[in-house]
Chains A and B, each alone.
Chain A
Amino acid sequence: MWREPVTIALAALRSHKLRSFLTLFGIIISVFTLIGVMSIIEGLNAYIAEKVANFGTNVFYVTRYPIITNAKDWLEAQRRNPKMTVEDMEYLQERMTLAEYVGAQDWREKDVRAGKESIDDVGIRGTTPTMVHISTEKVAAGRYIAESDYERRAMVAFVGTEVTERLFPTVDPLGKTIYIDGLPFEIVGVAERVGSVLGQTQDNFVFIPLTTLNKIWGEGPAFDTGPWIGIKCSSPDVMAQAMDEARTLMRARRRQKYDDKDAFGLIASESLTNLWDQIFGGIAAVAVGVVSVFLVVGGIVIMNIMLASVTERTREIGIRKSLGARRRDILLQFLVEASVLSTVGGLVGVLAALGATALVVATTPVPMRTPLGAVILSLAVSTAVGLFFGIYPAQKAARLDPVIALRAE
C-alpha cells in the first residue's frame, strides 16, 4: 500500500529531472535558507559565548557611546556625549567604593618594525597598569606595563605572540627593541596566546603605557571615543550596584539633570548578549518570513504539479477504482506521492545546505555549525508541506466518479 505510491513518485522524479528540480525549487530554497540561517545562528552563538568569556569576569566598561543600533541615537549621542578622558578614569578611581580595579585603555593602529621585518596596522593599546587585572590578556614572559612605566611615560611594550613570532621568530624577544611609527620601544613582556576568532588572530597587539600613547600621538581627533574605562568588581553580586555607582558619579561629573539620557555608555558582557539577542531576533524573524514564503510558494507549485498529475492520470484513477480502490486508497496514494516529492526536495535542500556550510567554513572566517535539529526540522517541515498541499489534489482524485474517470483521455 505504501511502496507503490513511493515508487511511482520516485520514478516520476527520475524520469523528469529538470522538471522535478524546478518543481521542488521552492522547497529546496526554503530548506537551504532554514539550515543556512540556523547554522549561522548556531555558529555565532558559539562565537558570542567565546567573546563574552573574553570580556573578563565581573568587568564592565564606561565608554563614550553605549551600544547603539540605529542612526538617530548615534547622531544624538555624538552631540551629547563628550569624548572620554584619562581624567574621567581618575575621577572614578578616586570616588568609586565598589570597584576593585579601575583602568583605561585607548588604541591606535600603527606599523611596527624590527630590523627588516615589519607588520602593518598593529593595534597599539595605551593602557593603565591596572588593566592587567581587568582585561583577559595574561603575562607569559617578562611583565605587564608597570606603575613606574605609566608615570615616567616609558617607551616600553608588552606584546602579543603574533608580533613576537613575526618579528623575532628565532630569538628571545624580551629586551629587544621594536619601532612603532619609527619610535623605539623596549619589549618588557610577552602575552599568552589568545588564539583566533572568526579567522582573525587576536594576538596582533602591542600594549604601551596610556600616558606614552597620549604623549606621542595626542588624544586623537574629536570624533574618537577616547579611552575605554574598565572597572572590575570583587564579585558578581556587586556588579549591578557598582554600575549604578559609576552611572551616578559620571552623571554628576557631566552635570546631568534628572531626566537627561546618560552622556556616556555602560557596557557589560550582558549588553553584548542583549545586542546579540536583538540581532538574533532580527535574523530569526527575517528567516522565518523568507522560509515561510518559499515554503508556501513551494507548496503551491507541488499542489499544481499534483493537480496536473491527477488530470493526467484520471484514467488510471478510474481503473484503480473499478478494481476496488476506495476513496481513501486513492487519497493515500496521492498524499504519499506529494509528500515523497516534497521530502526529496527537502533532502536536496539539506545536502545543498550542508555542502554550502562546509564550503563557507573552509573558505571564510564566518562561523557556521549545522545543528542536527535543523536537519530534522527541515525534513519534517518539507514532508508536512507536501502533505498539506497534497490534500486538495488528492481529494480531487479520490472524489472522481469511476465511470467518468474511465472515459477520460
Chain B
Amino acid sequence: MPYPEVMAESVKKVEATRERRLRETFPRLTPQEKKALLESYHPDYRSETFRPLAVGPNAGQKVPNELADLLEAFSRIDPDTFDLSRVDYETDVLIIGGGGAGTAAALTAQEAGTRVLIATKLRWGDANTIMAQGGIQAADKPNDSPVRHYLDVMGGGGFVNIPQLVWALVLDAPLVIRWLEQLGVMFDKEPDGTMITVHGGGTSRRRMHSCRDYTGMEIMRTLRDEARNRGIQALEFRPAVELLLDDAGNCVGAILYDLETEEYLVVRAKSVVLATGGMGRLHVQGFPTTNHYGATADGLVIAYRAGAEMIFMDTVQYHPTGAAFPEQILGQLVTEKVRGLGAHLVNCDGERFIYELETRDAVSAAIIRECTTVGKGVVTPTGMVGVWLDSPMIDLLRGEGTIRKALPAMVRQYERFGIDITKEPILVYPTQHYQNGGIVMKEDSSTSIPGLFVAGEVSGGVHGRNRLMGNSLLDILVFGRRAGVSAAQWAKAATLGTPTLRHVKEYHEQLIRAGINTDRISPLVLPDYTAPHTRIRRLGGVPVG
C-alpha cells in the first residue's frame, strides 16, 4: 500500500463499496440544484477575492485580485524614452505565443502568402497545449450533429457564450479534425479508421477524440514539425512585453524581451496574432494549477493596455481532479478522461456524492462541499485534503488492461511515485485550470484593435462562463486557423504608420489619475518560485512581499 496509514483505512472503505457502486447509478443535478451548489461552493462566488478594475475598457468590472494586480500595474518600458526607431525584426504577421493556437495561425497565415514570425516565451511548444491529455471534441459521428454540439457548448457555458463564435467552433470542428488527420496526427482509431470517441463532462454524445492521453502533445508536436518543415521561424525565450500601435491606432508589432540577454527587441509587423494562452500561474485564491510555467496572463495585460476589451474574466475554471497526493505532483492534472471512462468520485467512506460527468464547475463545487461542510474529505500527512477518484473501477467496467492502454500518461505519472492507479484510487482536489474568458473577439478572430487578432485561451466569448473538456483544443485550432487567415488578409492591405507607445503612456496616466500608486510592473512573464529566504537575501536582507 503506497498510502500512509491514515489514508489507507479510507482506501479499504473505497474497495468495500466498489461491488455495490458497480450496479448503482447516481442521479444528475437538476438545474436548480446545480445553481445552488455553485453559489454556495464554487470559488467564483467568493466575492472578497475579486475586485472591480480601476481603469481601462472593463473599468468597474470584477476580475480576480491576482489579475487586477497585473492590470493595475506599470509597464516595464518607459514609453517616453524607449527608442522605437531601431527595428530588430520585420515581418508581415507577428504571432505572439508558440502554443497550439499560435502555431496553427502561423501555418494558415503562411499558406495565405504572408511572411510570418513567431515570438514565444519558452521553447516553441512549451505551452498548455502540450499538456492536454483527454481529447478534442467534434460532432462527426452519425448519431451526433453540430447542432447538438452547439447545445452542449451553450449549456456548459451557462447560455451566455457569444453564439456566432460557438457556431464557428462547432461547424469548423470536423474540418479541423480532418486537417489534423492529414497532417499525420495519430488519433485513436478502430482498424477501419473509425474514431474511438468517449464522453467528457457535459457532452450529450460521445464525441471526444483522443491520442491516448497525450492528445495535446501529439497535436503540438505535429503542428510544430509541420511549421519547421515549412521554414517558419520562432524566436524562443523572447516574450512580448508590449504591443505597438501606430498613429492611426492599428497594431503594428511588439516589443520583445530576451530572457537571456535581457535586451528589448522591436518587431515591426503589419498585423499581430496574440496567442499567449492562459493564467494558471497567477494561482488565483492560492489554488495550485495544472498550467505550464509561462501561463501568466501576459497577453491579457498587454492587449488590455492597448485598449482591447475583455469578457467573462470574473470566472475561472477549476479542474475538479487535480492531484492532492503525493505532495510532489500537487495540482497536476488527472485527466477528465478517467471519469469519462467510468471512475467514480467517492468520499472518505467510499460513497459517491456527485454524478461524475456534471460540468467542471459543478463537480469542483461538489468536491469542495464534501471536503468542507460535509466533512468527508481525506486528509494527507502534509495537511492537504481531497476525495478519492476510484480509477480501478475502469478496469472493472471495461475489462482488465483498459487503464494501461487508454491512460498511459496517468499510469506513468503515478508509478513514478509508487502508486498503481489500476489497483489503487487516487486523491484529488480542484486545481486552477483554465481561463474561461479573455479578449473579446469576432468570428474572424479580430478584436476591437485594428490589426490585432486573438486566438486560443487568451480570447474570450466562445466558452461563456465555463468551458467543456475537449472544446479548448478545438477552439485553439478553429480560431488559430481563422486568426492566421484574417491576419494575413489584413497584412496584405495594411499601410504602416509610425509605431508608438502612446497607449502605454496614456494607460500610465489613467492609473495615476485613479490613484494607483504602486511599484508593480507587468506583464509578469514568469512566476518566482524561489524560497522566500533567497529572495530576501537577493535584496540584501530587505523583506519583500
Do A and B bind? no
